[in-house]
Structure 1
Amino acid sequence: MKRLALVTFLIFSLFINGQEVKGKVVDTIGEIAFANIFLKDNSGKIVTGTNSNEKGNFTLKTPKGKYTIVVSFLGYKDWKKQIEIINIVDLGEIKLIENAENLDEVVIQSKRRVIQQKVDRLIFDVEKSVVAEGGNGVDILNVAPRVQIQNGVLEILGKGPSRVLINGRLSPLEGEELTTFLEGLNANDIKNIEVITTPPAKFEAAGRGGLINIILKKSKLNSWNNLSTVVYNQNEFNFGSIRNNFSYNKNNISLVASVNATKGHFKHTEDLQIQYPQNFWDIDIQSKERNENYSGRFQVDYQASEKTTLGLQYLGNISKPGGFTTVTSTVFDQNNQLDRWIENKGDNKIDRRNNAINFHAETKLDTLGRSISIDADYFNYNAKNNRDFTTEVFGNDGNSMGITSAALNISDQTIENYSSKIDVNYPINKVNLSFGGKTSFTNTKSNILFFDTLSGNSILDPSRSNNFEYEENNLAAYVSAGTNLTKKLELKVGVRLESTNTKGISEQTNQEIENEFTKLFPTVYISYNKNDNHTFSFSYGKRVDRPRFSDLNPFRYYINDNSFGEGNPFLQPSFTDSFELSHTYKRNLSSNLFLTVTTDGFGVIFTSDPVAQTQIVTRDNYITQYNYGISENYNANLFSWWESQNSFNVLGFYSKFQKDIGATPRNGFQVRASSNHTFSLSKQSKFLVNTWYSSKYSGGLFSVGESYNVSLGFQHNFKNNLKLSVLASDIFNTSALNNLTSVVDGVEQVYGQNDSNRNIRFSLSYSFGNKKIKVRDRNFGNDEERRRSN
């Protein structure tokens, strides 16, 4: 009732000309954002209230009268004063004093603005999100500005497929494996998401999209903490997860150990319609997919001296996806009459394992911020994939015409990478200078065997088997400098030089392909802070996108008699120039105008042979692509119990095909909007409503159908650090990829996919120990090579 009365008063106060009281909240360091300010009448009842803004300023409107004003913030003593409001009361600076008795017993958490625009990145604060407290990394990215995950692809809108970093450490995973990893990440540990649309020169130039940096929470020194979480997910099937994270930080030793295990199943469906000149194929794919993943991490850092830190880190992962799949292809003749149907059944067994070891050392050179750090890394990856399938044909009368094929397709890929890098920070006067370099050496071997099992015996088919070896050596150096030209104008420039040599050898095709290039990758950032209300920035960067190792293997991987995929050893890197202009208004509304130009772009081409009636997945450099658009992101704290974040994006796509692939470019526009709301029902409970909408659009080789999502969540904090979360995702089952359409050589293909997007998840977590733990986290030096291994 008190809350209802307060809300009623706030709404009513918008329509009256009340008096004003204003001030600024500070401490010994500077402004305090989002401090709590209340006015109480003589009976002690709260009349109205607000929060200080990012500069610590606040304004309250109220009728004339005598009040007690209270200013409070976690970790500080309350500030109180009796005031009489007749006209405008300016309290000036209100300086809060730290509460020394309780300061060491609490974790200071400032309620910062949800979206911040920096000179080279967009920062999304997720600490207060219900999704964070009850979800995982995928849930967080689904509500982050300018980020979308669809069909297993994570991308920054308008930029294309993007890489993920954890505390600045590039993840080696992408696609299905990346999604699995993010689903196993406890979102309650996530502090910020940094959407880096134009990565600085310090980062590898690889990847035409930007970077998405997931920053984990840190806490205080001389303490320990353990967090245990149990998750249950129900779709048509179900799976469960157990996670445990332990952190210890005392004296000169910092230690982190974590284990994660997920096991169960989810339903995977695909549909594909192919319009051949002579007939029509309707293909339905149903799978009971395994969701089995085990991962572990161990990190220890030692403070060898006041200036030097040494560390060792291990990261390991075992995943066993795959499952039993039934592919039903229904074939109709030109008169739309059933001609036959084909049933392909197969069991796909996958075993992927990777290990990464990192040694790190960092030394502070002086008190001016100068430092030097080195990393030495080793990474290995092994993936085994066995697909055992049979194909049976049925006539239009439903009678079997016999098994036409049976086979066992086996692939085995091994990758080893050695790398080292050095980074130096060396500020000089007013210039923040940094420079460094990296060496990387990669070897990969892929063996593929195809056995014909139709006779009941496994007979090796040499024409469908192959050995492929690939070597890549990369040398890189960079320099970056930033300075404040004036009090309002900031400039940052950088350049990265990369020299790459590759060699691929295919045993079956008797091909040896060598490639070499040396390129400069410049970056420029300009930021102008006009005043407290307006900030402008501009960025430019050049990027390179190298093919994944598996995409270079020329061998055909058979799904069934009519479908196969093949790599292309002649794939060349593509290059992207990225331009972006940003404006921030009152630190709540962020506007971005962007353009990316990709030359020698490569990608997947879905082709069909009208005569043989086969579906082929190939890869080629075939496109020059222009992506452009505008993005608006707005955050509003409507009331103390209602937070809202909203995004509206208009994207444009224009393409030119560099070679004849039997298709015409599809150019068009996309509208994507999202609106996410968190309601505080009480101090212990929150309710979540997340929505997004994506219009139908065309770009490059494909057009994509309309989709939208509505998700509801609830989270409750019990006593003794126990939390329960429930999240119902995609309740209308409308977010899946649909109507992905392409026309190549006159054959139209329409594709759709759903990985149990509609589901409900229950999560229970318990934390004990000291939550003030502080954990050092660092990059692996060979993260780019590990990413491309998948």
Structure 2
Amino acid sequence: MRSIFISLLFLCPLLCFSQLEIKGTVISTTETIAFANVILSTPGSDGTVITGAITDENGNFTISAKEGTYTLSIRFMGYTEWQKDIALDNHIDLGTITLESSTTSLDEVVITKTKKVIERKPDRLVFNVENSIAASGGDALDALKIAPGVTIQNNTLSMIGRGASRVMVDGRILQLSGEELIDFLNAIAASDIKKIEIITNPPAKYEAAGNGGLINIVYKKGARNSWKNTTTLAYNQNTYNFTTLRNNFFYNKNKLRFSVTANGTKGNNREIEEVDVYYPNGPWVLDMDNKANKDNISGRLSIDYDITDNIVIGAQYLGNQNTPDNTVQSTTQIFNATNQLDSILDNTGFFDRKVKSHLYNLHMITTLDTLDRKISFDIDYFDYDNTLKQDNVVNTFLPNGELVGINYAAMNLSDQRIDNFSAKIDVEHPFPSVNVSYGGKLSFIKTINGLQNFTTETGTPVFDPISSNQFEYTENIQALYVNASKKINDKWEFQLGLRVENTFTEGFSETLNQTNTNEYLKFFPTAYISYQKNDNNVFSLNYGRRINRPGFRNLNPFRIYVNSNSFSEGNPFLQPSFTDSFEFNHTYNNILTTNAFLNITSDGFGTIFTADQETEVQAVIRENYYKSYNWGIGETFSFSKLPWWKSQNQIYFLGYKTVIDDAINANAEDGFQLYLSTNNTFTLSKTTKLQLNFVYNSPHKANLFDISETYNLNVALKQSMLKDKLQLSVLVNDILDTSSYSRLASVVNGIETVYAQNYSPRFARISLSYTFGNNKIKGKQRGFGNDEERNRSN
């Protein structure tokens, strides 16, 4: 297979340059301009149009023509037309082209053009974070919480009705999940994010991991021949408070582009949880109130350099260090069969955590010829280290407050380290009749989880070797893919892809002296077809198969006790789950989109909360235990008829059907769900904008759980000053304090467990941002053959 792949790569024909290129970046005085018309014509007022293009979302354009003399024109509604006579005898880079604003009045209505906060594209939903007032001053996790159709439950990111999703940064997958992923997202500033792409059914080029598709975080890029610096100070207030200071610097001139970002956060957040377990002998009621530390320092460095007209090299670094300590105070009330209070377990603890992560990337992009044949290389290394010192003392009291004795006293020292090295190559190889792309990836992951347990009942820590453990896990993946797309005519277009992944895993528990291995070769086909009936109606149908691999911690077989009655353990025999996704879309007049989907998941795995009726021991275990059928139909409606009001609205009707393995003594919860969201931006004046958002999830049943309704109302205001250089933003999130789960119930082994949580989603944030820089750095007028590639590499 390796020899075939190498042959495919290096048999790409190298063609001679036959045309010359003109390129540039179109901007206004404040931002890049997307979708501007670029026209190249023969000289004169009645010149013949030779060719043309439309600027991309970053304002860039490239057009090709033979040697000669031409007139280049750039037009965009609301701006004065730009023209320049050009003698084309070599590649030309026009650098930054600034269009002057011109107000066009029709019956006293001013026509302006701004990018939508939310955009529906054929294969993805795009949340333009840079245009969202509600995301101002927050981090990546804050932005994801208000992204349409994205939910965060028990540290798992998922798409409504579809299941767990994987996260990418600039198209590069993050080998993180659960708590580790949340820590990483907390370190990314929302002000550093251009957009978030929600890809429900990714093509073969992307990782096959993630039953619920992929979420791609795309960083901002600096405009060509310019530099810019933005400093942001934000203050958040809930029960506690925390403050964040961020700085973003961008530089882009001639061959060199780089950006530097630094972030610092200090303060605390309140986290409340409640768990009720209904035993036959009487219920146990756990109430937990944590003060979570949010101290964090993070940064990003990105640099790209054009070695030649056709070769770009670059590097990127992401670093994060935080101390998410927790002061834990919890009580468990134990009732008897007549519902009288029998005793109380009082838990006082402290979690001393230190988390460090480093992500390094090297990349090179080569354009082979004027036919857009390209090769890109990426090498990535990720290092994650999470150390935790946990002190817990649980005392038993009678209802009158009399101390009975110590129920549990221990000190745990744990250390989790993840090392991931990966290398990939992507080739874009267009032919006259079909566009073909192919590539491959190698990934090597090693994780070590160490746990040392000490009993502290006597006041002096005593090492307990039986309850201590070290778990080592390795995962190696080799992947190849090929993708082909073709536009048959003006109405029909199709795309077919196939990704092949070979996976080998090995887990070793030192204390149990247990080794578990697994190896499998899997195929992941994708297919897309679209039909444009007319200018107002576009239909598309797609299919894809995906895989969801267990998280590293879920594979650790060691049993970790929280107290004498509660423990958690992983399962080294967990298998990956597989999902077949079918999706249909219809777009009408670019304002109304109908979406219908069906996801079928086999070998589904997850966390099960169990309790023993006789011993009253509570356990958290992981199993492959279900097959599920999730489906949905929904509408997305865009409204922008009024110049002062833009609205994006979604409504989905969702259904869940789960078949549970007979070995699991649990009740399947099947049902329906209604999802509503509306995102509204009001332009109160040229310098003042108001954003009003609302999300509603109806009560529903899915998988093992009976889930309460949630809804979130937030309002944000942005005031621009000093010619948009100074911006003041105010956000009040979850005004009604109703976005948390008040009930998440399941029945396993005949015992009902009801969970509720509130991590302080209701808060107020005020942020102040100041931007300064120069959009007119003088640059050399030279030609590049790789605008698109440079954008991808940033």
Q: Same fold by TM-score, threshold 0.5 exceeded?
A: yes
- Alpha-carbon separation, structure 2, partners of 1:718 and 1:703: 49
Task: Please list, as runs of the form range in 1=range in 2, the aligned pairs for 1:700-779 lying within 5 A after superposition.
Answer: 700-719=703-722, 721-770=725-774, 776=790
Q: Which moved more, 1:171-180 or 1:273-282?
A: 171-180
Which residue of the other structure, out of 588, 597, 615, is the alignment partner of 2:591?
Answer: 588
Secondary structure at 2:743's aligned position in 1? strand
Equivalent residue, structure 1, for 2:519 = 516
- Kept after mapping to 2: 8 A contact 1:143/1:676: no
In structure 1, distance between residues paired with 2:294 and 2:207: 32
SS at match of 1:487: coil
Mean Cα deviation higher: 754-763 or 354-363: 354-363
Structure 1 residues 172 and 469: alpha-carbon distance in aligned structure 2, compared to 1, 3 A threshold: closer
C-alpha separation in 1, matches of 2:531 and 2:660:
38
Q: Would the alpha carbon gap of residues 164 and 652 (structure 1) be closer, same or farther in structure 2, given more than 3 Å must change? A: same
2:98 alignment partner, one of 96, 104, 113: 104
Q: Distance in 2 between matches of 1:712 and 1:266?
A: 21
1:632 aligns with 2:626: no
Q: What corresponds to 1:565 in structure 2?
A: 568
1:499-543 per-residue CA deviation (whole Å, 9 max, x = no partner) reads: 111111112222111100001110001111111211111111111
The answer to whether 1:317 aligns with 2:320 is yes
Work out the CA distance in 2 between the residues paired with 1:107 and 1:254. Answer: 28
Kept after mapping to 2: 8 A contact 1:739/1:752: yes
* Structure 2 CA distance for partners of 1:670 and 1:486, relative to 1, 3 Å: same
SS at match of 1:646: strand
Evaluate the alpha carbon distance shift between residue 319 and residue 283 of structure 1 in structure 2; reply closer, same or farther with a 3 A threshold. Answer: same
Q: Partners in 2 of 1:699 and 1:708 — Cα distance?
A: 18
What's the offset of the Cα at 1:683?
A: 0.9
How far off is 1:333 after superposition?
1.0
One of 577, 602, 625 as aligned partner of 1:622: 625
CA distance in 2, matches of 1:600, 1:270: 30
1:404 aligns with 2:398: no
Aligned partner letter, 2:732 = A
User: How far apart, in 2, do the equivalents of 1:472 and 1:485 lie?
Assistant: 42
Shift of 1:700: 0.8
SS at match of 1:741: strand
Note the 1:377-392 alignment, pairs <5 A. 377-392=380-395
Q: 1:184 deviation in Å?
A: 4.8
Aligned ranges 1:454-465 → 2 under 5 Å: 454-465=457-468
State the one-letter code of the partner of 2:636: N
Q: Does 1:421 align with 2:404?
A: no
Change over 3 Å in CA distance of 1:32–1:292 after alignment to 2: closer
2:116 is aligned with 1:122:
no
CA contact (8 A) 1:169 1:778 kept: no
Q: How does 1:516-555 map to 2 (within 5 A)?
A: 516-555=519-558
| Aligned CA distance change for structure 1 residues 170 and 106 (closer, same or farther; 3 Å) | farther
- Structure 1 position 423, deviation (Å): 0.8
Change (3 A) 1:292 1:135: closer
Q: Is the 8 A contact 1:425 1:433 kept in 2?
A: yes
Asked if the contact 2:314–2:793 (Cα under 8 Å) also holds between the matched residues in 1, the reply is no
- Distance of aligned partners of 1:135 and 1:327 in 2 relative to their CA distance in 1, 3 Å threshold: closer
Q: How does 1:443-482 map to 2 (within 5 A)?
A: 443-482=446-485
**Which range moves more in the overlay, 165-174 or 102-111?**
102-111
Name the TM-score, length of structure 2 as normaliser: 0.84
Q: Which residue of 1 aligns with 2:783?
A: none
Work out the CA distance in 2 between the residues paired with 1:101 and 1:569.
Answer: 56
Q: 1:110 to 1:191 in 2, by over 3 A?
A: farther
Q: CA deviation at 1:276?
A: 0.2
TM-score by length of 1: 0.84
Shift of 1:149: 3.0
1:141 matched to 2:144? The reply is yes
Q: Equivalents in 2 of 1:365, 1:390: separation in Å?
A: 65
| Closer/same/farther in 2, CA of residues 259 and 776 from structure 1, 3 Å limit | farther
Tell me the alpha carbon deviations over residues 634-667 of structure 1, each in whole angstroms, 9 at most, x when there is no partner: 1112421111111111111101112421102110
With over 3 angstroms needed to count, the CA separation of the structure-2 counterparts of 1:164 and 1:440, relative to structure 1, is closer
User: Following the alignment from structure 2 to structure 1, what is the Cα–Cα distance between the partners of residues 718 and 636?
Assistant: 26
Mapped to 1, the partners of 2:546 and 2:372 lie a distance apart of 29
> CA 1:492–1:599 in 2, change beyond 3 Å: closer, same or farther?
same
Residue 109 of structure 2 corresponds to which residue in structure 1? Answer: none
Residue 645 (str. 1) matches residue 645 (str. 2): no
Distance 1:557 1:276, change over 3 A: same
- The answer to whether the aligner puts 1:264 opposite 2:258 as a matched pair is no
- Please list, as runs of the form range in 1=range in 2, the aligned pairs for 1:283-432 lying within 5 A after superposition: 283-432=286-435
- The farther-off stretch of 190-199 and 220-229 is 190-199
Aligned: 1:73 with 2:94: no
C-alpha contact 1:421 1:438 (8 A) present in aligned 2: yes
* Structure 1 counterpart of 2:170: 167
1:753 shift after superposition: 0.8
Equivalent residue number for residue 445 of structure 2: 442
Partner in structure 1 of residue 690 of structure 2? 687
Question: 2:742 is paired with a residue of what secondary structure?
Answer: strand
Are the aligned partners of 1:113 and 1:588 in contact in 2 as well (CA < 8 Å)? no
CA distance in structure 2 between the aligned counterparts of 1:179 and 1:107, rounded to whole angstroms: 42
How many angstroms apart in 2 are the aligned matches of 1:208 and 1:393?
44
Letter of the aligned partner of 2:730 in structure 1?
V
For residues 135 and 440 of structure 2, what CA distance do their matches in structure 1 show?
Answer: 36
Q: Pick closer, same or farther for the CA change 1:730–1:139 going to 2, 3 Å.
A: same
List per-residue Cα deviations over 1:698-754 (Å, max 9, x = no partner). 111111101111111111011151111010011111110121000111110000111
Is this contact kept in 1: 2:95–2:224, CA < 8 A? no
Q: 1:454 to 1:420 in 2, by over 3 A?
A: same
User: Deviations 1:158-211 (Å, cap 9, x if unpaired)?
Assistant: 211112223323334444454454455443454433221111111111111111
- Counterpart selection for 2:613 from 610, 613, 618: 610
| Cα shift at 1:481 | 0.6
Structure 2 Cα separation of the partners of residues 416 and 454 of structure 1: 36
In 2, Cα distance between the equivalents of 1:685 and 1:559? 51
SS in structure 1 of the partner of residue 685 of structure 2:
coil
Number of equivalent positions:
701
Give the Cα separation in 2 of the matches to 1:528 and 1:342: 64
Residues 231-263 of structure 1 deviation map (CA, whole Å, 9 limit, x = unaligned): 110010001111111111112111121111111
- Going from structure 1 to structure 2, the CA distance change for 1:496 and 1:158 (only over 3 Å counts) comes to same
Distance 1:748 1:287, change over 3 A: same
Question: Taking structure 1 as reference, are residues 26 and 414 closer, same or farther at Cα in structure 2, changes over 3 Å only?
Answer: closer
The alignment's C-alpha RMSD in Å is 2.7
Contact 2:95 2:225 in 1 (8 A): no
Cα distance between partner residues in 2 of 1:370 and 1:667: 50
For residues 776 and 229 of structure 1, what CA distance do their matches in structure 2 show?
A: 27
CA apart distance, 1:487? 1.2
* Separation of aligned partners in 1, 2:100 and 2:527: 41
Distance 1:568 1:106 in 2: 63
Whether the 8 Å contact between 1:597 and 1:627 is mirrored in structure 2 is yes
Instruction: Name whichever of 709-718 and 139-148 sits farther off.
Output: 139-148
Q: Distance in 2 between matches of 1:428 and 1:30?
A: 21
Q: 1:458 to 1:125 in 2, by over 3 A?
A: closer
